[in-house]
Amino acid sequence: MQYVEDAGGGNVDDSINKVTYNTSIPDDLEEFHAILCTVDMVIDETYVPNPIAYTVSTFLQNTNIEDQSCFAFLANQSLWRFDKRIQNSTVLVQDWYDGAISQPQLVLADLVEALFPSRNYTTTYIRNIAKGEGVMNINPDMCLRESLTAMDPVVIPC
């Protein structure tokens, strides 16, 4: 939540203190849809064992969204996930839990790009499933340094 604020965005109103919504309960689904109708961007943190297969259609099915007319984040094509870099295409091993923690400036830059698209920056850790962005399979051979050598931080130009 702090990253979103630091990137210049806002989080859902603090008065919404419910953590989960069961979409099979009509009142929960209605409340959840009402919240989604108020936002311009969504970061979907749904756990999935196979991120390659998770698309905007999966999100719509999981959230029981049929009529998309009131959802600005869908009209704006701004539906994001933090699983862009994975190690194994069938098991959820994300670089989010290692790389993103050690390179917070890249996470911040990703969120700035998501909130204020410049179209000249390629995100590192988040992908826009509304635009059909897929995952990137990473492996140890892609690491250009020895594991015992400290990582040089990537510097993002302003």
HSE at residue 92, side-chain half, CA atoms within 13 A, is 13
- Is residue 67 situated within a structural domain? yes
| pLDDT at residue 38, as a whole number | 93
| β-strand partners of 43 | 80
| pLDDT at residue 30, as a whole number | 93
| pLDDT at residue 91, as a whole number | 52
> What's the token pair of residue 130?
């509304």
- Is residue 150 situated within a structural domain? no
Into how many domains does the chain fold?
Answer: 1
- Is residue 149 situated within a structural domain? no
Q: Work out the number of other CB atoms within 10 angstroms of the CB of residue 26.
A: 10
- Is residue 154 situated within a structural domain? no
- Is residue 57 situated within a structural domain? yes
- Is residue 145 situated within a structural domain? no
* Burial of residue 60, with CB atoms counted within 10 A of its CB: 0-12 exposed, 13-18 middle, 19 or more buried: middle
Cβ atoms of 135 and 52 within 8 Å: the answer is: yes
Q: Which residue range(s) make up the domain with 28?
A: 2-139
- Is residue 27 situated within a structural domain? yes
Using alpha carbons, select from 120, 122, 114, 121 the residue that is nearest to residue 39.
114
| pLDDT at residue 35, as a whole number | 93
- Is residue 156 situated within a structural domain? no
Which residues does the chain have with pLDDT short of 50? none
